[in-house]
């Protein structure tokens, strides 16, 4: 409790030095980017010249709400975040898909992504967030709703694998702007498994010497960060 109280007291006033310049892009869908706060209205997770980035272990960047301004998802040092001091607060993505930790708004205050009796979750397959967060000054922030339909999703990216020369694999994909995406294949053979893993990272890495037939899989955009799928 003492650490939490200290964290809440230390941070206001030191966060807005360079919010927009610190992170100017994200990987949220241009069409599925809104959540709803009960007292402050719509919050845009992919505003112009900013945005929220979902990585394999944490969130970063900025969302924008017309009525409360910028919402920052993590400290400048980056995550995963310990949420114990003025330099390591932010929203983490746990291995089971739960979002934990805090975002910050100068108007709404601290935004808890895992409040009592609630939680925001991330679906690794669909790229969609669901559930609700809690802000001390604006109440619940809903991340999905059936009618009217709204939710936040990461960009989905199709990757095609083709047989390459000398038994290699080439990766054919229309990478998003600013990304250089290739991949390697690791084939597992044993008495209990026969599968392959795709590793896709920027920048490009050499293809693996493994022959597989042409194969296509849609992969959540966040998995194009350094990560094994």
Record the tokens describing residue 106, joined without a space. Answer: 């100068």
Return d(Cα 173, Cα 189) in angstroms, integer.
27
- The confidence band for 128, taking pLDDT boundaries of 50, 70 and 90, is very high
User: Model pTM?
Assistant: 0.66
Environment class of residue 65 by beta-carbon count within 10 Å: exposed (0-12), middle (13-18) or buried (19+)? Answer: buried
Higher-confidence position of 124 and 107: 107
pLDDT tens, position by position, 194-222 = 233 444 433 333 333 333 333 344 444 34
Answer whether residue 124 shows pLDDT above 90.
no
pLDDT tens, position by position, 67-106 = 999 999 999 988 999 999 989 999 999 989 999 999 999 9
- Highest-confidence segment of 144-153, 155-164, 195-204: 144-153
Looking at residue 139, the DSSP 8-state letter turns out to be E
Question: Are the C-beta atoms of residues 80 and 87 closer than 8 Å to each other?
Answer: no
pLDDT at 158: 52
Higher-confidence position of 53 and 206: 53
pLDDT tens, position by position, 7-26 = 333 333 333 323 333 334 78
Record the tokens describing residue 86, joined without a space. Answer: 């003025």
Return d(Cα 76, Cα 22) in angstroms, integer.
7
Question: Are the C-beta atoms of residues 77 and 88 closer than 8 Å to each other?
Answer: yes
pLDDT, average across residues 105-128:
92
pLDDT at 148: 86
**Alpha-carbon distances of 127 from 69, 75, 97, 156, rounded to whole Å:** 25, 23, 10, 7
pLDDT tens, position by position, 167-182 = 444 555 444 444 444 4
pLDDT at 162: 53
């Amino acid at each position: 409790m003492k650490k939490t109280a200290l964290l809440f007291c230390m941070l206001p006033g030191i966060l807005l030095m360079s919010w927009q310049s610190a992170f100017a892009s994200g990987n949220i869908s241009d069409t599925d980017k809104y959540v709803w706060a009960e007292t402050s209205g719509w919050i845009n997770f992919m505003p112009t010249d900013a945005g929220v980035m979902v990585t394999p272990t944490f969130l970063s960047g900025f969302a924008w709400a017309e009525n409360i301004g910028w919402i920052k998802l993590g400290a400048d040092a980056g995550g995963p975040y310990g949420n114990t001091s003025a330099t390591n607060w932010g929203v983490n993505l746990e291995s089971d898909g739960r979002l934990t930790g805090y975002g910050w708004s100068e108007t709404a205050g601290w935004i808890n992504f895992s409040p009592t009796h609630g939680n925001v979750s991330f679906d690794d397959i669909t790229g969609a967030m669901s559930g609700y967060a809690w802000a001390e000054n604006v109440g619940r922030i809903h991340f999905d709703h059936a009618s009217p339909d709204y939710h936040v999703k990461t960009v989905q990216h199709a990757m095609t694998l083709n047989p390459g020369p000398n038994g290699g694999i080439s990766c054919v994909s229309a990478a998003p702007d600013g990304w250089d995406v290739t991949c390697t294949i690791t084939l597992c053979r044993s008495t209990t498994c026969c599968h392959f893993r795709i590793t896709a990272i920027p920048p490009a890495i050499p293809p693996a010497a493994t022959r597989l037939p042409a194969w296509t899989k849609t992969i959540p955009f966040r998995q194009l960060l350094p990560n094994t799928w």
